Amino acid sequence: MADRDWFEVQRLPHAVTMIREPHHSEDVKSYLVEGEEDVAVIDTGTGAGDFAGLVAALTSRRPRLLQTHAHWDHIGASCRFEDVLVHRTEAEALRAGLTAERYHDVFWRDPFDNARVPSKFDTRSGIPGAEPNSWLEHGDRIDLGGRELEVFHTPGHSPGSVTFLDRRARALFSGDLLYLGAMYVFFPSSDPAAFRASLQLVASLADAFDAVYPSHGPSPLEAGHVLTIHDAFEDVWQGRLPDRLGSLYGLPIVVFDFGSFAFLLPPDRLSVAAEG
């Protein structure tokens, strides 16, 4: 099996497979969702290790790559797939990939277990861009043969973030919208007001799922975690004072800490959004 020392594979109920990269500080998680004909590949990780080879070893079904968004830790092997779907507003970033210099900076930015990195991996290759051949639109249904993934546009973390709902399996794939950990809503392309609306949307769907499969943090989560995170952000929106100020990646942030999770927001944009 390809690069087993880097990847951790976990078979989950309802023909869902989690591909985790536990030895990197991002601890990113990608998912395979198998239908009778196709397998949805939800994101492709950091680019370390032979992700595409691993997918081929895990399933014989035709892969359809569904990008939750186009940040670097979700598109590392996307160029290795032929059927690539993404929201239109993420297409430019997906096509661009990542330069070698930028890839080196972000991959090695935080301390992690360097000894577990695959020996042939080299960030000097950068992340090649991937060309989407179709779009993910709000309300779309991705037919995998005997099961469907419903697409919800859930911006906030990024403009084109999407979430997938499998109503039959009662499973939600939330990408970077929500998870137990520090949720980033402070990038220049982030939007706290859109983030709030997206949390409201998924909270309204809570009766339709039991398990939540996020891209970071513990997985799976229970549906109740979605409501807890939603309620916490409503407290922030209504004027809860931040727990601390700081900076991350050279950007100023305010941190709202709720113990098992936190919201990282930009001070200026939060104050503007809260007036709305």
Report residue 101 as tokens.
Answer: 């210099």
User: pLDDT tens digits for 83-118?
Assistant: 999 999 999 999 999 999 999 999 999 999 888 999
274 pLDDT above the threshold of 80: no
Position 1 scores a pLDDT of 42
Sign of CA dihedral 171, 202, 148, 28: negative
271 pLDDT above the threshold of 70: no
Position 9 scores a pLDDT of 97
- CATH classification number, 8-238, choose in 3.40.50.10490, 3.40.50.1110, 3.60.15.10, 3.40.710.10: 3.60.15.10
Please give the Cα distance from 222 to 179 (Å, whole number): 11
Please give the Cα distance from 180 to 216 (Å, whole number): 8
CB 209 within 8 A of CB 170: yes
User: pLDDT tens digits for 28-84?
Assistant: 999 999 999 999 999 999 999 999 999 999 999 999 999 999 999 999 999 999 999
Please give the Cα distance from 103 to 89 (Å, whole number): 21
User: pLDDT tens digits for 135-145?
Assistant: 999 999 999 99
- Pairing of the two strands 262-265 and 182-184: parallel
Domain spans, the chain:
8-238
CB 176 within 8 A of CB 69: yes
The average pLDDT across 175-198 equals 97
